[in-house]
C-alpha cells in the first residue's frame, strides 16, 4: 500500500522528455549541416557529445559521488548544442577542451543540471572563442562535395566577419535560408532552425516569448540603424538570417535553467539579448554577439526572477 500527499496524478512530463524534444527539434539543422559540411560536422559533433557525456559521468562518479545523471539527456544536449556552435573543421582536441569546459566548469561546478547560472554550451563556446580565436573564426566553405575532408577543408570568412571589417558582400537570401553559407555548422540554415522552433512550440516545450522577443528586438534595432543609414548598414533581414541569431534565440536562450521563469521576465530577457546582440554586431569588435549577449543576460536572470513576479489572483492594486 502506498500513501503520499496529493496530487496523485502527473502529466508524465519529465526532464528527459523535454531534453529529447529539443534534440528532436535539432535534427533538421543537423541534417542540413551534414549535407553542407559532411564529415567534418559529423566528427565535431560526435567528439563533442562523447566528451560531454564522459566528463559528466566522470565528475558525477568520482567528485560528486552521486548516481549517474546521463539519463536525463542534458549532457547529450549540451554536447550537440556546443558542436552546433563550432566550425566543422575544428581540431578534435579543441572540441574536447570545449566540451570539458562546458560540462566541467559551466555545469558540474555548480552542482549539476538546474544549478548552473550560465548556459553550459555557451560557456564552452565562448571559452574556445577567447582561447583559440584563429581556429574559431575560420569557417569552412559549405558544399565542398567531399565527404572525406575534416580539418583540411577550404576555409573562408563569414558574411558577418567581413561586414565587421567593412566589406559588404551580401549572400543570396535563398542561400541564407537553406544554409549554403559559411559559419558554425548548426547555425547556417534558417529554415531548418525554424522547423525546429515550430516543433518545440507544438510540443509546448518552450513558449514563443524568448525567441520572438529577441528576433523582434534585433529586427527593430538593426532596422532603425539601417534606415538612419549607419555605417556598413545592411537590411535587418540579413541580420536575422546570418550568424547564430536563430540558433541562439530558439535553442540557447530558451534553456530552462538559465532563462527567467515568468513570461514577463522572459520578454525582458529576450529584449536584453536582442539589444546586446545588435550593439555588439554593429559597433563591437566581434563580428557575432549572440553568445555574449545570452551569457550576459544569463547573469541578469536571477535579478529578473527576483523582481518580476507573476500576476497574482485577486491581487489588490495599490492606489
The binder of other proteins chosen from 27, 257, 275, 296 (CB under 8 A) = 257
Nearest approach, Cβ of residue 214 and other proteins (Å) = 17
Residues 260-279 binding other proteins (CB under 8 A) are 260-263
Verify binding: residue 7, other proteins, rule CB under 8 A.
yes
Verify binding: residue 18, other proteins, rule CB under 8 A.
yes
Per DSSP, the three-state class of 211 is helix
Residues 111-150 binding other proteins (CB under 8 A) are 111-115
Nearest approach, Cβ of residue 7 and other proteins (Å) = 3
Verify binding: residue 4, other proteins, rule CB under 8 A.
yes
Nearest approach, Cβ of residue 17 and other proteins (Å) = 7
Per DSSP, the three-state class of 34 is helix
* Total residues in contact with other proteins, by rule CB under 8 A: 38
Verify binding: residue 315, other proteins, rule CB under 8 A.
yes
The binder of other proteins chosen from 45, 51, 72, 164 (CB under 8 A) = 72
Query: 127-136 contacts: CB < 8 A, separation 24 or more?
Result: 127/97, 127/98, 127/101, 127/102, 128/86, 128/90, 128/94, 128/97, 128/98, 128/101, 129/291, 131/97, 132/94, 135/87, 135/90, 135/91, 135/94, 136/86, 136/87, 136/90
Between CA 247 and CA 81 the distance in angstroms is 9
Between CA 62 and CA 312 the distance in angstroms is 45
Cα 295–chain centre separation: 10
Verify binding: residue 15, other proteins, rule CB under 8 A.
yes
Q: Which residues bind other proteins (CB under 8 A)?
A: 1-11, 13-15, 17-18, 72, 111-115, 256-263, 309-316
Amino acid at each position: 500500500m502506498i500513501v503520499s500527499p496529493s496530487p496523485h496524478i502527473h502529466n508524465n512530463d519529465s526532464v528527459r522528455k523535454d531534453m529529447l524534444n529539443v534534440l528532436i527539434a535539432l535534427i533538421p539543422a543537423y541534417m542540413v549541416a551534414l549535407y553542407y559540411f559532411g564529415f567534418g560536422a559529423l566528427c565535431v559533433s560526435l567528439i563533442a557529445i562523447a566528451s560531454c557525456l564522459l566528463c559528466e559521468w566522470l565528475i558525477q562518479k568520482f567528485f560528486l559521488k552521486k548516481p549517474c545523471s546521463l539519463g536525463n539527456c542534458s549532457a547529450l544536449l549540451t554536447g550537440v548544442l556546443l558542436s552546433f556552435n563550432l566550425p566543422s573543421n575544428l581540431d578534435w582536441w579543441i572540441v574536447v577542451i570545449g566540451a570539458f569546459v562546458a560540462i566541467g566548469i559551466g555545469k558540474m561546478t555548480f552542482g549539476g543540471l538546474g544549478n548552473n547560472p550560465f548556459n553550459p554550451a555557451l560557456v564552452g563556446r565562448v571559452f574556445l572563442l577567447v582561447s583559440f580565436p584563429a581556429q574559431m573564426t575560420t569557417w569552412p566553405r559549405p558544399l565542398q562535395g567531399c565527404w572525406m575532408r575534416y580539418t583540411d577543408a577550404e576555409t573562408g570568412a563569414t558574411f558577418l566577419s567581413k561586414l565587421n571589417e567593412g566589406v559588404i558582400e551580401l549572400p543570396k537570401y535563398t542561400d541564407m535560408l537553406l544554409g549554403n553559407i559559411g559559419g558554425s555548422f548548426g547555425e547556417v540554415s534558417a529554415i531548418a532552425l525554424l522547423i525546429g522552433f515550430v516543433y518545440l512550440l507544438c510540443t509546448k516545450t518552450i513558449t514563443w516569448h524568448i525567441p520572438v522577443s529577441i528576433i523582434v528586438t534585433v529586427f527593430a534595432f538593426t532596422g532603425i540603424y539601417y534606415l538612419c543609414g549607419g555605417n556598413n548598414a545592411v537590411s535587418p533581414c540579413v541580420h536575422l538570417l546570418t550568424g547564430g541569431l536563430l540558433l541562439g534565440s530558439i535553442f540557447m536562450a530558451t534553456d530552462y535553467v538559465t532563462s527567467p521563469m515568468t513570461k514577463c521576465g522572459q520578454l525582458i530577457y529576450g529584449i536584453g539579448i536582442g539589444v546586446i546582440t545588435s550593439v555588439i554586431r554593429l559597433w563591437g569588435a566581434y563580428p557575432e554577439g549572440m553568445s555574449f549577449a545570452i551569457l550576459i543576460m544569463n547573469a541578469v536572470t536571477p535579478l529578473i526572477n527576483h523582481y518580476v513576479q507573476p500576476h497574482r489572483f485577486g491581487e489588490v492594486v495599490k492606489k
